[in-house]
Amino acid sequence: MRKYYPLSKSEQGIYISSLNGGDAYNLANTVNLGKEVTPEQVEKALQDVLAAHPYLFTILSNDEEGNLVKHIEVEEIHLPLEECKELDIESLPYEMLDRHLYRFKLYRYKGDLIFYFDFHHILMDGTSIKIFIDDFFSALEGKRLEKEVSTANDYKNLKEGGFGISLVKSLTEEVNYSYQDGHSIVSMSFAIGQ
């Protein structure tokens, strides 16, 4: 039996703003993994990260009384691989109800493996993107990930502003992360309200 949770005030606000369409709340990212990493390694690492953070499987829906609620619905992840001559990734708006609020895909571009991931802001902010990226690279290196001990659902009774604080410096800037092994990550954030 599913356990349903109410949305926080912040989540309700993001949800209502998202109904206008557009990709303002998409947190789309690409990671160039080079030529040595295989699609199977990426898929396994992603599955490990999602198993450690089951909140990412959150789905919004309406309950029997029509109230907007959320629940966790785990699914198996498979990453499609697309060979491409040009890397032109479009960030699309999310259908907000009864679907997972993430997208994953692999691209082979000029011989390099590119990992694309996109989360709706209702699931992620700047802090949680960094945690996802760090855990992804740890899993890719074969390290065991610790499962999260609490999720946003555990904080549903906190006062407004008690969770979901984003540490993103600016929603319009590109943020580049570099890791010791030479992988680079470009986080593409989109300005709210544009």
As for how many domains the chain has, the answer is 1
Residues forming a β-bridge with 29 = 117, 187
Q: Is residue 82 part of a domain?
A: yes
CATH number for the domain spanning 162: value is 3.30.559.10
pTM of the model: 0.78
Among 33, 141, 55, 68, smallest CA distance to 102 is for 55
Among 3, 8, 15, 56, smallest CA distance to 158 is for 8
CA 9 to CA 173: how far, in whole Å?
A: 26
Range of the domain at 57: 5-189
Per-residue pLDDT 10s for the chain (194 aa) are 678 999 988 999 999 999 888 889 999 999 999 999 999 999 999 999 999 999 999 999 999 999 999 999 999 999 999 999 998 888 899 999 999 999 999 999 999 999 999 999 999 988 899 999 999 999 999 999 998 877 767 654 443 344 333 322 222 333 344 343 444 444 333 333 32
Rg (CA), the chain: 17
Q: Is residue 194 part of a domain?
A: no
Q: How far is CA 76 from CA 47, 79, 84, 126, 194, in A?
A: 8, 10, 25, 25, 34
Q: Is residue 149 part of a domain?
A: yes
